[in-house]
Chain A
């Protein structure tokens, strides 16, 4: 083989091995004669880190309506990198049940990172992820603040042979019909929200209720509506009507006004982000919560809460039930350690988006450490059916069949007397994991296949 020597610098692949060059290991490569499509590449998998460092890609919304959530995710990632490299107080690494992480980077390689802007658009998110893979040699992509983006980037990572650790994504589809072997989700999902909320709603509002759903007219809205509907109907509630609202809607008055006429006594707002802030504000404006219908107090439910968005709705969230993946007021050791190190560094408590992203980064690093390799297939194996604790959600399982984490779900309520601008939600109940676990072939997750792990290259 006359060109053996050059093979190290050329590869037939969709991705580059720039990690080699970035770290300067290429000294003396000189002028290489290009050989078209050398038989097989030297790398075992895409973007195999060969130098003294490893690059991770943090793909979060930095512009558009979710920019603040993205900024919080980025803070969490920076904190995670600091901890992985042995800086700071170690955060959750000290409470994490797996002790594989040493604080010396990942497999002894210093963790470096690149950032990108998803703009909360699937196209832009993929462009940004591609540049991380092709240009920066990232070996793992993580982040995002919507299911559309998560599903799009997850499919891309599967194709490229990169691990994707989803950020905030709540639609059933991410680990349902659009699941991929290279993608992993720590965040909870619509089904879990419904399953966790139902018993609490039953205790608070009784079993004889008529619900009216307003649902965002896109995939996440559909799965959430279905989940909440089926779990509340199972306990005896009646669904009076479900109305779809356009994503671009800003004023929900014309959807909320007819609610009282319908005879419903509960309004479920399957909205997220700006939609949720506006629809909730509008609903409270209409004075729905002061009304009596069917001899009961009218109530509003928001299936997916986020503290950042609750802040946008202001006083309107008071007393309104919802579910959340994690909240900073949790008192377990893991949460306390994370809130301490995040709060000390940035001056305010982390959001649930920050938490899930931080945990995802640590889980990935730990999986690599335990597998002894960055190879996506090895990581896949290490994460499959991995059980852990100490990350703020109690004992957790990363299920092999769909790469979804199973853990306790928090049911929260808007706080009546917040002591600060961060203290908006109070935990009503920690729904144990058994109640939110479902079979991998549950109808709400039907269709699609996980496929097999793709190491790329």
Chain B
């Protein structure tokens, strides 16, 4: 019982990451019809926004500490962040500690900017081109973005911890009457889950309750007619692209304390996010979110030791197996619209 509750928690947490990435992807892929292989790269850049901000916050000058020596026997140079000089050690430490949450503010404008530039500069010219061309150009872009990050940050993962306040885990079990230490879950992962729900809710509300959202939804359904009505749908699609990039970026920022970011983390998520979007059904935002949570939960269950003992290797293939079963039983995924990317 404890194990099952724990894996549901896990699944919701994993699922929130999948849903968040898939949401951004489906805005571009499921609705604008652009096969965006650079979406993983956007997620990765979001994560590196957090890395960049924490680098900026820890900009330092060197102070020579004569009492200690470095590995070559010379006096040790200690880096002292400028923040220490300006705000004192305590406040400085606190600001540095909160680098990841602060990065949200930093990442939103950066990601929207990148998204808009990407759409205006590149993707715009590919709306009418075959999907094959879109794949090639966005894949090329993804590689270029990755390599740029690798050039500046190296290939190794870069630790980007959560604020001290969120270190450790929360004992759920005690709350609902189990023994201590049976159902524990890290605070930061709970924060991630809440954050994902918030972002998903915001995106839905934006599309559902604003005039802008209404026009965009109309544009997705029938771009031509909306254009004939004299509405500049292109401009709105640009903004949508920026929004999608921001969602991917935020997913990345908040993910950094969970796993240290590296330059290829986007590629690791790319295939998975496509699977999630397609399982959810092309052109359906709720579908993508639902599929994200569903696959997250199933993956968590498949990784239980008892399940692996029963079916060896199931944890390796569960996502793909589920995708195949769903696509064979429901032709357009969970909630797909007819005629979107079917030919």
> In the complex, are there CB atoms of A and B closer than 8 Å?
yes
Q: Hey, which bits of chain A sit against chain B, CB under 8 A?
A: 63-68, 217, 241, 243-246, 248, 250-251, 253-255, 257-258, 260-262, 274, 277-278, 281-282, 285-287, 290-291, 293, 308-309, 311-316, 328-329, 339-340, 343-344, 348-349, 419-420, 422-423
B13 in the interface (beta carbon within 8 A) = yes
**Taking CB as reference atom, which chain B residue is nearest A247?**
B316
Check A316 against B159 for contact (C-beta < 8 Å). yes
**Taking CB as reference atom, which chain A residue is nearest B301?**
A254
Check B188 against A285 for contact (C-beta < 8 Å). yes
Check A65 against B189 for contact (C-beta < 8 Å). no
Task: List the A side residues contacting B182 at CB < 8 Å.
Answer: 260-261
Check A250 against B259 for contact (C-beta < 8 Å). yes
Shortest Cβ distance from A85 into chain B, in angstroms?
24
Q: Hey, which bits of chain B sit against chain A, CB under 8 A?
A: 2-3, 6-7, 9-11, 13-14, 17, 68, 70-72, 76, 150, 154-159, 161, 167-169, 181-182, 184-186, 188-189, 257-260, 262, 264-265, 268-269, 299-300, 303-305, 308, 315-316
Check B155 against A282 for contact (C-beta < 8 Å). no
Distance between Cα atoms of A241 and B3 in the complex (Å): 15
Distance between Cα atoms of A281 and B13 in the complex (Å): 16
Check B303 against A285 for contact (C-beta < 8 Å). no
Check B71 against A309 for contact (C-beta < 8 Å). no
Check A339 against B308 for contact (C-beta < 8 Å). no
Check B155 against A67 for contact (C-beta < 8 Å). yes
Distance between Cα atoms of A253 and B13 in the complex (Å): 9
- Among candidates B154, B157, B186, B308, residue contacting A243 with C-beta atoms closer than 8 Å: B308
Task: List the B side residues contacting A243 at CB < 8 Å.
Answer: 303, 305, 308
Which of A253, A260, A262, A340 has the most chain B CB atoms closer than 10 A to its own CB? A253
Shortest Cβ distance from A335 into chain B, in angstroms?
11
**Taking CB as reference atom, which chain B residue is nearest A277?**
B157
Q: 25 A-B residue contacts at CB 8 Å?
A: A67-B154, A243-B305, A245-B315, A250-B268, A253-B10, A253-B13, A254-B303, A255-B303, A262-B305, A278-B260, A282-B258, A285-B188, A287-B184, A290-B168, A291-B181, A312-B157, A312-B260, A312-B262, A313-B157, A313-B159, A314-B159, A314-B161, A316-B159, A328-B71, A339-B72
Distance between Cα atoms of A257 and B258 in the complex (Å): 14
Given A253-B13, A253-B14, A419-B76, A65 contacting B262 (CB threshold 8 A): yes
Apart from A277-B260, A420-B71, what are 10 other A-B pairs with CB-CB below 8 Å?
A64-B155, A250-B265, A250-B269, A253-B189, A253-B300, A258-B304, A261-B2, A282-B259, A285-B186, A328-B71
Check A251 against B17 for contact (C-beta < 8 Å). yes
Which of B70, B260, B316 has the most chain A CB atoms closer than 10 A to its own CB? B260
Distance between Cα atoms of A291 and B268 in the complex (Å): 32
- Among candidates B13, B14, B168, B260, residue contacting A313 with C-beta atoms closer than 8 Å: B260
Given A260-B181, A287-B169, A287-B186, A349 contacting B161 (CB threshold 8 A): no
Shortest Cβ distance from A143 into chain B, in angstroms?
16
Task: List the A side residues contacting B6 at CB < 8 Å.
Answer: 257-258, 261
Check A254 against B299 for contact (C-beta < 8 Å). yes
Shortest Cβ distance from B126 into chain A, in angstroms?
27
Work out how many contacts link A and B, with CB atoms closer than 8 A: 138
Task: List the A side residues contacting B71 at CB < 8 Å.
Answer: 328-329, 339, 343, 348-349, 420, 422-423
**Taking CB as reference atom, which chain A residue is nearest B255?**
A251
Distance between Cα atoms of A314 and B186 in the complex (Å): 18
Given A66-B155, A257-B6, A286-B169, A281 contacting B259 (CB threshold 8 A): yes
Shortest Cβ distance from A289 into chain B, in angstroms?
10
**Taking CB as reference atom, which chain A residue is nearest B265?**
A250
Distance between Cα atoms of A293 and B71 in the complex (Å): 39
Interface on chain B toward A: helix, strand, loop, or mixed SS? mixed
Check B157 against A274 for contact (C-beta < 8 Å). yes
Given A254-B10, A285-B169, A285-B186, A344 contacting B72 (CB threshold 8 A): yes
Distance between Cα atoms of A92 and B290 in the complex (Å): 60
Given A257-B6, A261-B6, A251 contacting B14 (CB threshold 8 A): yes
Task: List the B side residues contacting A328 at CB < 8 Å.
Answer: 71
Task: List the B side residues contacting A255 at CB < 8 Å.
Answer: 303
Task: List the B side residues contacting A278 at CB < 8 Å.
Answer: 157, 259-260
Task: List the B side residues contacting A344 at CB < 8 Å.
Answer: 72
Shortest Cβ distance from A447 into chain B, in angstroms?
22
Shortest Cβ distance from A61 into chain B, in angstroms?
9
Distance between Cα atoms of A66 and B264 in the complex (Å): 11
Task: List the A side residues contacting B17 at CB < 8 Å.
Answer: 251
Given A241-B305, A344-B72, A349-B71, A258 contacting B3 (CB threshold 8 A): yes
Check B186 against A244 for contact (C-beta < 8 Å). no
Task: List the A side residues contacting B167 at CB < 8 Å.
Answer: 285, 287
Shortest Cβ distance from B244 into chain A, in angstroms?
22
**Taking CB as reference atom, which chain B residue is nearest A308?**
B156
**Taking CB as reference atom, which chain A residue is nearest B171?**
A287
Distance between Cα atoms of A233 and B156 in the complex (Å): 34
Which of A245, A248, A255, A344 has the most chain B CB atoms closer than 10 A to its own CB? A255
**Taking CB as reference atom, which chain B residue is nearest A423?**
B71
Given A281-B259, A287-B168, A258 contacting B186 (CB threshold 8 A): no
Task: List the B side residues contacting A217 at CB < 8 Å.
Answer: 316
Check A251 against B258 for contact (C-beta < 8 Å). yes
- Among candidates A67, A244, A260, residue contacting B184 with C-beta atoms closer than 8 Å: A260
Distance between Cα atoms of A315 and B164 in the complex (Å): 12
Distance between Cα atoms of A274 and B70 in the complex (Å): 28
Given A261-B2, A343-B71, A67 contacting B150 (CB threshold 8 A): yes
Distance between Cα atoms of A293 and B179 in the complex (Å): 12
Check A68 against B268 for contact (C-beta < 8 Å). no
Check B308 against A244 for contact (C-beta < 8 Å). yes
- Among candidates B70, B185, B315, residue contacting A246 with C-beta atoms closer than 8 Å: B315
Distance between Cα atoms of A250 and B72 in the complex (Å): 37
Task: List the B side residues contacting A419 at CB < 8 Å.
Answer: 68, 70, 76
Check A286 against B184 for contact (C-beta < 8 Å). yes
Check A68 against B155 for contact (C-beta < 8 Å). yes
Distance between Cα atoms of A251 and B17 in the complex (Å): 10
Distance between Cα atoms of A285 and B68 in the complex (Å): 32
Given A261-B2, A278-B260, A312 contacting B159 (CB threshold 8 A): yes
Which of A243, A254, A287, A314 has the most chain B CB atoms closer than 10 A to its own CB? A254
Which of A68, A260, A311, A349 has the most chain B CB atoms closer than 10 A to its own CB? A260
Shortest Cβ distance from B294 into chain A, in angstroms?
15
Task: List the A side residues contacting B189 at CB < 8 Å.
Answer: 253, 285
Task: List the B side residues contacting A285 at CB < 8 Å.
Answer: 167, 169, 186, 188-189, 257-258
Task: List the A side residues contacting B303 at CB < 8 Å.
Answer: 243, 245, 254-255
Distance between Cα atoms of A104 and B141 in the complex (Å): 48
Task: List the A side residues contacting B188 at CB < 8 Å.
Answer: 285
**Taking CB as reference atom, which chain A residue is nearest B303?**
A254
Shortest Cβ distance from A275 into chain B, in angstroms?
11
Task: List the B side residues contacting A248 at CB < 8 Å.
Answer: 268
